Amino acid sequence: MTADNPSLRPWRDIERRKCRQIMVGDVPVGGDAPITVQTMTNTLTSDAKATIDQIRRCEEAGVDIIRVSCPDVESTAALKQIVRASKVPIVADIHFHYKRGIEAAEAGAACLRINPGNIGSPQRVREVIDAAKANGCAIRIGVNAGSLEKHLLEKYGEPCPEALVESALDHIKILQDHDFHEYKVAVKASDVFLAVAAYMQLADAVDCPLHVGITEAGGLIGGTVKSSIGIGNLLWAGIGDTIRVSLSAEPEEEVRVGYDMLKALGLRTRGVRVVSCPSCARQGFDVIRTVQKLEERLQHIRTPLSLSVLGCVVNGPGEARETDIGITGGGKGKHMVYLSGVTDHHVADEDMVDHIVKLVEEKAAEIDAADLAMEAAE
């Protein structure tokens, strides 16, 4: 549909910041690669089964890269099994212990989350970087307003954009001095204004990929709002090559919110994009409950397509014209179904959800088959 093709809407274009590309396992980050969606497990990494089960749920939600915490030797011991089982690259968060970094690299982690200036002597830093080089690991420098170095807090008096950027540049220099260039950088804060300002400054100062997020954003609703404002502002400005939405919620929810952000900006198109009204006294069916059921039952769809669910005929026909499948509320329990923007048939209340799910699944299969045929022809 026209509405799903940003190239036909020049006022929707987002010009991404140009940067070099690195590889996190087999996933490209930066350059012209799609913006990737990340999350982090919250199970004990030493419990390999629980961690793998959680990774599976995140994979179903579409995660591209997933981070696990490795605070102790039991965690890095379990990491080899976790890496083998995961379908997506694993980032090992090693905290401050250089030995965990070496162990994680040798266990098959695709990336290490470290701040090289915080892991001890120059010799320890070299050992971790050498392990990353030897095992094909990328490195993510993770600067956080809540854990800035003491000398920067003394210099600036408080966390500020300049302090976060200076910290990032200090850590980058350490990697560059060791001829290591496969890195990405984050400068996170829980304050939206602070984080956005820091990323804006950093984007002008470096040519590496940026990992974007608002840290400790909050619960599912509050954290989604806060993250959407911060991450959304940066993405709209073309800044961000991989994102993590930090919520006090299950990791798969972070992935879904991340994809919804990217879909709203036309930057990724995985799964069903739902257009729905907030409902009012004109509604011909229970819009809120219907949308809840549809979103739950359509989570398995990965094919990009659009669905409009409108309770009445005021805005319904107009929205339906711009989506692959649409439904508008009608009288006497009969509702109009639109296919490719054209009125097609009616459906009764009691059959509506099952019918729409079937139509979406059929449309997704049709799109997938056409894509496969096109690939075969090429």
pLDDT in tens, 208-225: 999 999 999 999 999 999
What domain range includes position 202? 19-264
The pLDDT value recorded for residue 5 is 53
CB neighbour burial string for 207-217, b if at least 16 within 10 angstroms, e if fewer = ebbbbbbbbbb
- Distance (Å, whole) CA 155 – CA 132: 32
CA 195, chain centre distance (Å): 17
Q: Read off φ and ψ for residue 258, nearest 5 degrees.
A: -60, -45
161 domain-assigned: yes
5 domain-assigned: no
- Report yes or no: 261 and 51 within 8 Å, Cβ to Cβ: no
Pairing of strands 138-144, 183-188: parallel
Same domain, yes or no: 30 and 164: yes
Same domain, yes or no: 105 and 71: yes
Same domain, yes or no: 85 and 140: yes
3 domain-assigned: no
Same domain, yes or no: 50 and 197: yes
CA 300, chain centre distance (Å): 17
- Give residue-wise pLDDT tens across range 139-149: 999 999 999 99
The pLDDT mean for the chain works out to: 94
Same domain, yes or no: 137 and 283: no
Same domain, yes or no: 233 and 319: no
235 domain-assigned: yes
Three-state SS sequence of 241-308: CEEECCCCCCHHHHHHHHHHHHHHCCCCCCCEEEEECCCCCCCCCCHHHHHHHHHHHCCCCCCCEEEE
Per the structure, how many domains does the chain have? 2
2 domain-assigned: no
- Give residue-wise pLDDT tens across range 23-47: 999 999 999 999 999 999 999 999 9
* Residue 328, domain CATH: 3.30.413.10
Q: Which two tokens stand for residue 227?
A: 């993250």
Q: Which of 318, 317, 327 is nearest to 357 (CA)?
A: 327
Q: Which two tokens stand for residue 283?
A: 């509604």
Q: List, in sequence order, the alpha helices (H) in the chain.
A: 48-61, 73-85, 98-106, 122-134, 150-156, 161-177, 192-205, 220-236, 251-264, 287-297, 316-320, 352-377
Q: Which two tokens stand for residue 3?
A: 């509405």
* Residue 48, domain CATH: 3.20.20.20
Same domain, yes or no: 123 and 140: yes
Same domain, yes or no: 181 and 306: no
CA 257, chain centre distance (Å): 7
Digitized pLDDT (tens) for each residue of the chain, 378 residues in all = 434 554 556 667 889 999 999 999 999 999 999 999 999 999 999 999 999 999 999 999 999 999 999 999 999 999 999 999 999 999 999 988 999 999 999 999 999 999 888 888 999 999 999 999 999 999 999 999 999 999 999 999 999 999 999 999 999 999 999 999 999 999 999 999 999 999 999 999 999 999 999 999 999 999 999 999 999 999 999 999 999 999 999 999 999 999 999 999 999 989 999 999 999 998 999 999 999 999 999 999 999 999 999 999 888 889 888 999 999 998 788 999 999 999 999 999 999 999 999 999 999 999 999 989 888 887
Q: Which two tokens stand for residue 237?
A: 């400005």
CA-based max dimension of the chain = 77
Same domain, yes or no: 186 and 124: yes
Q: Kindly report whether the global pTM for this prediction surpasses the value 0.85.
A: yes
317 domain-assigned: yes
